[in-house]
């Protein structure tokens, strides 16, 4: 695909701002419009980024959406049910409908995956993803921790270790005002070949130690390994949690760059597929069920 690729956003929240900033770094892509269910939000966003404010979702889609043959980059969580993911996959046909799981598009993680596949680390033993970033005390809702945060962990586990077979998950409340809403959770995921993914997420605490586990990845094989931390490059003050971490802000650029240049430009498969989205949804649902039942959930 040659020439400039024009984008329209559905949604103008905080993450949309990071997507817009990232898109400005691409030479061959441009944001041209956006829609939000809150008119004042889309007006403010459109003014800030000098784009067209669409008056309705239909108006934006009439400028041609997926069913009109357009490619789509979809934020996570992709859908709330496997049926909805199936409908998206069917609607895409031969076009790209790519889950925007921005975490795995970081070049360092992609290199780690390549080294793993080349057996540089030897046989894979374990995958670790740890997340500690305090959000807001009144931000809690029953499943926000697992559905909104741990979906990232699920994708990372699948990306490095393959399909999950079973999961045990426990969760607790230490920070949210409503003490019935979990704000930290630990999931232990079993994969083929004895591989275990250890997935920790917390919206309740920051890590102020000398070697902080803000967002931390570790891949361990029998003959080597890899680690990466979001704390390796930081700048400025954080308007929202993570916004002062270069790895987080850059992740929006990396996912867009791959979508535009690799998927659309070179017709290469995404690193996060619709099938991955379905597997990640099954895994997060199994986490929730494990928390509820206090037992291991088989994914089969």
Task: Give residue-wise pLDDT tens across range 203-234.
Answer: 999 999 999 999 999 999 999 999 999 999 99
User: What pLDDT score was predicted for residue 1?
Assistant: 52
Task: Give residue-wise pLDDT tens across range 270-298.
Answer: 999 999 999 999 999 999 999 999 876 67
Q: Are residues 66 and 197 in the same domain?
A: no
CA-to-CA separations, 179 to 131, 186, 289, in angstroms, rounded: 20, 17, 19
User: What pLDDT score was predicted for residue 120?
Assistant: 98
User: What pLDDT score was predicted for residue 122?
Assistant: 98
Q: Are residues 85 and 118 in the same domain?
A: no
Rounded mean pLDDT of 82-97?
92
Q: Are residues 131 and 230 in the same domain?
A: yes
User: What pLDDT score was predicted for residue 2?
Assistant: 58
Residue 148 lies in a domain: yes
Residue 279 lies in a domain: yes
User: What pLDDT score was predicted for residue 203?
Assistant: 98
Residue 288 lies in a domain: yes
User: What pLDDT score was predicted for residue 163?
Assistant: 95
CA-to-CA separations, 190 to 101, 129, 176, 182, 197, in angstroms, rounded: 21, 14, 30, 23, 7
Q: Are residues 74 and 223 in the same domain?
A: no
Residue 19, token pair as written in the block: 């997507």
CA-to-CA separations, 293 to 91, 168, 171, 288, in angstroms, rounded: 36, 10, 12, 9
Whole-number mean pLDDT of the chain? 93
* ∠ Cα 260 247 89 (to 5°): 40
Domain boundary among 99, 127, 161: 99
Other beta carbons less than 10 A from residue 241's beta carbon: 16
Task: Give residue-wise pLDDT tens across range 13-32.
Answer: 889 999 999 999 999 999 99
- Beta carbons of 175 and 201 less than 8 angstroms apart: no
Residues spanned by the domain of 201? 106-245+273-298
For 168, list phi and psi in degrees, rounded to 5: -115, 135
Distance between CA atoms of residues 112 and 228, nearest Å: 10
């Amino acid at each position: 695909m040659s020439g400039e690729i024009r984008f329209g956003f559905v949604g103008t929240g905080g993450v949309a701002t990071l997507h817009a900033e990232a898109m400005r770094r691409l030479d061959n892509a441009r944001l041209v419009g956006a829609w939000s269910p809150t008119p004042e939000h889309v007006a403010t966003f459109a003014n800030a980024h000098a784009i067209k404010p669409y008056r309705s979702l239909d108006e934006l889609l009439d400028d041609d959406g997926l069913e009109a043959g357009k490619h789509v980059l979809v934020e996570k969580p992709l859908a709330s049910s496997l049926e909805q993911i199936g409908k998206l996959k069917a609607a895409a046909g031969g076009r790209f409908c790519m889950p925007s799981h921005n975490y795995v598009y970081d070049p360092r993680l992609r290199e780690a995956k390549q080294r793993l596949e080349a057996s540089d680390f030897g046989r894979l033993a374990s995958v670790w993803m740890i997340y500690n970033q305090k959000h807001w005390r009144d931000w809690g809702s029953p499943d926000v921790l697992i559905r909104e945060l741990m979906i990232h962990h699920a994708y990372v586990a699948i990306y490095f270790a393959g399909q999950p077979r079973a999961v045990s998950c426990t969760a607790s409340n230490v920070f949210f005002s409503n003490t019935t809403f979990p704000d930290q959770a630990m999931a232990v995921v079993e994969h083929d070949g004895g591989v275990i993914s250890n997935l920790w997420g917390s919206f309740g605490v920051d890590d102020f130690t000398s070697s902080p586990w803000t967002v931390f990845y570790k891949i361990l094989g029998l003959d080597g390994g890899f680690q990466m931390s979001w704390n390796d490059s930081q700048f400025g003050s954080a308007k929202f949690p993570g916004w002062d971490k270069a790895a987080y802000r850059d992740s929006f650029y990396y996912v867009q760059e791959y979508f535009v240049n690799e998927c659309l430009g070179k017709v290469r498969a995404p690193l996060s597929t619709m099938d991955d989205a379905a597997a990640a949804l099954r895994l997060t649902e199994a986490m929730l069920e494990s928390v509820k039942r206090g037992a291991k959930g088989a994914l089969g």
